[in-house]
Structure 1
């Protein structure tokens, strides 16, 4: 059973120019006290064809975290357009928000 439940993610400053930072207001609940940090990441997928173009925009460690509901704003610099294949600069993409424990 998961110890962390993400209950809401709000994309702030939306819509926004491409070169503005990403901002997410994240609300999560812990069902137990967590003695170790949670690792949160924002990953920009630069191409559906290869993970080689993925960019980890930022990583933040939150913890220790007591049981209960928590909220924070996670902000990261935008992706580097020079690392995105020309064919993928304009079009559909994915921004992954991950949370890991241990």
Structure 2
């Protein structure tokens, strides 16, 4: 059983310009008091073929957390388009929202993101160079991919350094659990 459960994630200001900040309203419940902070991260996948193009957009610490229900707005800057290959800016990519406790990731919510021009003529006849100020971002909202990982919420500091233990997922199921292999779009996460 998890000590922390995400009860809802709402994507705000969607669709919007590519260069606008990301905003999520995150609701969660804590079933036991936690001494350390929760770390929330937002990662933009810049290329499906190469993780070196992934960008950590924001990382925030929240806590310590007592038993109860919580809600906050998580805002992150947009990805830096100069760190994305031009051929990967237009089209579909993935956005990952993760949460960790004491260095152990326990939930990952994956969203498809479609980036395209805001003008039909530009979509039909794309310019030779990307006009980033005309690109619109649409986080596909219906069915996010939610992956949960079992962790130790009260790790012994001498046991594995408090780091995440290896999952018991079999190799044939790993691709299924990898949010990069997300097959359905999404906006609201209920876990």
Q: Which TM class, normalised by the smaller chain length?
A: over 0.9
**Is 1:84–2:114 an aligned residue pair?**
no
- Which position in structure 2 is the counterpart of 1:7? 7
**Is 1:34–2:37 an aligned residue pair?**
no
Deviations 1:47-84 (A, max 9, x none): 00011000000100000011111000000110000111
Residue pairs, 1:1-102, within 5 angstroms:
1-102=1-102
Aligned length: 102
Displacement after TM superposition at 1:101 (Å): 0.5
Displacement after TM superposition at 1:87 (Å): 1.4
Deviations 1:7-42 (A, max 9, x none): 100000111100000000000111101110000001
Counterpart-to-counterpart distance in 1, 2:57 and 2:21: 10
Higher helix share: 2
Unmatched tracts of structure 2, length 5 or more: 103-191
CA RMSD, Structure 1 to Structure 2 (Å): 0.6
Counterpart-to-counterpart distance in 2, 1:27 and 1:94: 21
Unmatched tracts of structure 1, length 5 or more: none
Higher strand share: 1
Counterpart-to-counterpart distance in 1, 2:47 and 2:41: 18
Displacement after TM superposition at 1:86 (Å): 1.5
Counterpart-to-counterpart distance in 1, 2:9 and 2:53: 25
Counterpart-to-counterpart distance in 2, 1:7 and 1:93: 25
TM-score by structure 2 length? 0.53
